[in-house]
Amino acid sequence: MIRFLYQEANKDLTKEINKALLGDAELRAQLAEMKSSKKSLDAVQLEPSPESVLNILSYARGLQEH
């Protein structure tokens, strides 16, 4: 299920889980809960400071000029 959630399941496993999900409400509930947790992790997206971003871009441009 975790491989499936993180899209590491191969075609056969994906097919198997998709089939199992159709007939198993408990499995669907489990997957929904894990999906919710996974999505919530995306909420923890921090932004670097504009200064850091500018420093990186300056370096990238500096190399381009040479």
Partner 1 sequence: MIDKRCSDTELVSLYQTGNEAAFEMLLHRHKSRVYTAIYLIVKDRYEAEDLLQDTFIKAINTIKAGRYNEEGKFLPWVCRIAHNLAIDHFRKRKRYPEVTLEDGSQLFDSMRFAEESYEDKQMFRDTRSRMRDLIKELPDEQKQVLIMRHYLQMTFQEIAERTEVSINTALGRMRYALINLRKKMIKNNIAYDENFYPKRFDQVSIPRGQQGPDERD
Contact residues for partner 1, defined by CB under 8 A: 1-9, 11, 14, 18, 31, 33-49, 51-53, 55-57, 59-61, 63-64
**Identity of the residue numbered 34:** M
> Which residue's entry shows tokens 């489990």?
30
- Smallest gap from Cβ 26 to partner 1, in A, equals 14
- Smallest gap from Cβ 35 to partner 1, in A, equals 6
- Smallest gap from Cβ 4 to partner 1, in A, equals 6
Q: What are the CA-CA distances from residue 3 to residues 32, 39, 57, 58, 64 (Å)?
A: 15, 16, 36, 40, 41
